[in-house]
Structure 1
Amino acid sequence: SNTQFGFRKGKGTNDCLALLVSEIELARSRKEMLASVFLDIKGAFDSVSINILCQKLQDAGLGPKLNNFLFNLMAEKIMFFEAGSRNETRTSFYGLPQGSCLSPLLYNFYVNDIDTCLATSCTIRQLADDGVISVPSKNIADLQSPLQTTLDNLSEWARLLGIEFAPEKSQVVIFSFFNKTENNIQRGVYDPKIDLHLYGRRITIAKDFK
């Protein structure tokens, strides 16, 4: 996906930030504000379902031999646990192996249809398992609907893939050039017209995001 800037040759953090800054400056030139929701996927590599991944690869046209090879390489991982005198063996069909040169590529493919969740006028930028959704508007009240629709779509999309966003790490930043909005954010006041939720949990409005 062209929205992904992580694990791709010739793309990286600076490219992702440059596009976000361009969106902010474009909104400013149009006398608009830009609301951006910053998201994080919990345990991204560890949450990938190998069954779903291989089905997506098959649907994309990957041949059965290579698909079966990847399934056998990634699936049915046997894990050994030892705690004192207690020993256990467990089998997992989830997760891409950390350190494998294939894992970043396969993860990107796993989430490559994330932009189908976007409501009209919204954009998304991804950097590995982090993402930012943005929407411009002259009126703060018009930011609520497209962002909440996108968040709801993302929640369902993630559920079908067996992954989950971390609402406690999510924040919304309103890049505004109107003093009233800035003052509200500085005082920590939630504008009732921008009240976003992820999994039923309110997303914090912040002045900045790191």
Structure 2
Amino acid sequence: MEKALERKRICSAVFLDISQAFDRVWYKGLLHKLRSILPYQFFLLLKSYLTDRKFRIRQEDVCSKLKDICVGVPQGSVLGPVLYLLYINDIPETYNTSIATFADDTALLAVGNTLEESKGRLQQAVNNVATWTKKWRIKLNESKSTYINFTNKRIDNVPISINGLPRDLGVEMVTDMVAKHANSHKGRLEQHINEEASRLLMSRFTFRRLKRSKPFELSTTPHN
């Protein structure tokens, strides 16, 4: 985005909101993806972890029958967010656009010499992602998704207005990229970015080690 503005180009962005992201992960789809990226032994462990999960509702002394859990990563678990990231790891990329994802936040960005060019590229990227979400049973919340243009261009010496202030990762985007007071927040923003980047690197390092580990024999313990 910064490079686009330096070159006096326009950057269009869409911040997608995914409805109940962690609760709607499709088990069969997730297992299909895990099978293709993990050693078979680790895949079996995760498959055992995810399958045959059940729940029931209790009200005072009355309990419902057990029901199967068919969607969603385990809430409150360490693996939950990692499994979700693996589930959306193959989100389609479109030529001349960029994708930025973190947890259930997804942003699509496109750059062009004109507003029409950047919007056209962005629309193609949105269409591709929408098709992908339908295939993998991911629900987009259109009403909470936001579109915005970043530019320092002018029309007849009048700045192009930008409507809406989207929030990404809980941070309100500043549409005036040359605001005088922006530098006062730079240090805190950089610290936040560095902290989140470190967490991502740790998760990535962990799965690299898992993928490179030597196969091992799985043991099973019978239960009565």
For 2:42 and 2:165, locate their aligned partners in 1 and report how far apart those are by CA, in whole Å.
48
Structure 2: runs of 5 or more not aligned: 173-224
Partner of 1:17: none
Partner of 1:28: 5
For 1:104 and 1:176, locate their aligned partners in 2 and report how far apart those are by CA, in whole Å.
34
Q: Which of the numbers 60, 71, 83 marks the counterpart of 2:47?
A: 71
Count of residues in Structure 1 that have an aligned counterpart in Structure 2: 165
For 2:63 and 2:82, locate their aligned partners in 1 and report how far apart those are by CA, in whole Å.
37
Structure 1: runs of 5 or more not aligned: 1-22, 186-204
- Are 1:206 and 2:164 an aligned pair? yes
Q: Which of the numbers 126, 129, 140 marks the counterpart of 1:154?
A: 129
TM-score (structure 1 length as normaliser): 0.70
1:174·1:207 contact (CA, 8 Å) conserved in 2? no
Alpha-carbon distance change, 207 to 69 in structure 1, aligned in 2, over 3 angstroms: closer
Partner of 2:178: none
Q: Which of the numbers 98, 118, 121 marks the counterpart of 1:123?
A: 98
Local SS of the residue matching 1:45 = coil
For 1:208 and 1:54, locate their aligned partners in 2 and report how far apart those are by CA, in whole Å.
34
Which is higher, the Rg of structure 1 or of structure 2? 2
> Offset of 1:88 from its aligned partner?
4.1
Partner of 2:25: 48
Q: Which of the numbers 81, 86, 97 marks the counterpart of 2:57?
A: 81
Q: Which of the numbers 140, 148, 153 marks the counterpart of 1:173?
A: 148
Local SS of the residue matching 2:72 = coil
For 2:137 and 2:52, locate their aligned partners in 1 and report how far apart those are by CA, in whole Å.
17
**1:27-53 deviations in whole A, cap 9, x for unaligned?**
121111111111122111111122221
For 1:93 and 1:55, locate their aligned partners in 2 and report how far apart those are by CA, in whole Å.
14
For 2:84 and 2:35, locate their aligned partners in 1 and report how far apart those are by CA, in whole Å.
15
TM-score (structure 2 length as normaliser): 0.66
